[in-house]
């Protein structure tokens, strides 16, 4: 099958398939006489495995570590490893939720401090009139959705 058919079977763009080839998640396919990529059923199964793993939030490195275990045949070992990776991902999410809850509380404190300040005609030199000091460290917030 051609790259567009392969990508369509897993619901990803062709650029994703090319990317997975570049980073080593997908093998380099055979080429037709006219130079088109030519994929077999094994590539479709592998791409589906990779796509589902990515949708679960696993990184390309984590998937790379899964591929030798899975290889399309060792479902039990792969299932065990995926279960452990899911546990790790859930721990990361719980930690991130705690960080974001702390950040939300910091923002609430800043909002309360701002609302308590009387409006000034001009900004103070330390800018506490419009950006008061907040307790706690900076919290990194990603503003883009991961694929």
Q: How confident is the model at residue 138 (pLDDT cuts 50, 70, 90)?
A: low
Say if residue 57's pLDDT is above 80.
Answer: yes
- Long-range CB pairs of 70-77, under 8 A, 24+ apart, other chains included: 72/42, 72/45, 72/46
The pTM assigned to this predicted structure is 0.66
| Mean predicted lDDT score pLDDT of the chain | 83
Least-confidence region, from 29-33, 56-60, 95-99, 118-122: 118-122
Higher pLDDT: 78 or 8? It is: 8
Tokens for 62? 């984590």
Residue 24 has a pLDDT of: 92
Residue 118 has a pLDDT of: 75
Q: How confident is the model at residue 90 (pLDDT cuts 50, 70, 90)?
A: very high
Residue 144 has a pLDDT of: 53
Distance CA 47, CA 59 (A): 14
Residue 128 has a pLDDT of: 67
């Amino acid at each position: 099958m051609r790259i567009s058919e392969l990508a369509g079977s897993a619901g990803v763009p062709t650029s994703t398939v090319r990317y997975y080839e570049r980073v080593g998640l997908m093998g380099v396919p055979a080429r037709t006489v006219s130079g088109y990529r030519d994929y077999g059923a094994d590539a479709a199964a592998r791409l589906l495995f990779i796509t589902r793993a990515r949708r679960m939030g696993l990184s390309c490195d984590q998937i790379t570590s899964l591929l030798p275990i899975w290889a399309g045949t060792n479902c039990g070992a792969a299932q065990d490893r995926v279960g452990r990776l899911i546990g790790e991902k859930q721990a990361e999410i719980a930690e991130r939720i705690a960080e974001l809850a702390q950040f939300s509380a910091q923002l609430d404190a800043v909002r309360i401090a701002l609302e308590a300040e009387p409006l000034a005609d001009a900004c103070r030199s330390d800018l506490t009139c419009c950006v008061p000091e907040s307790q706690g460290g900076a919290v990194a917030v990603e503003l883009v959705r991961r694929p």
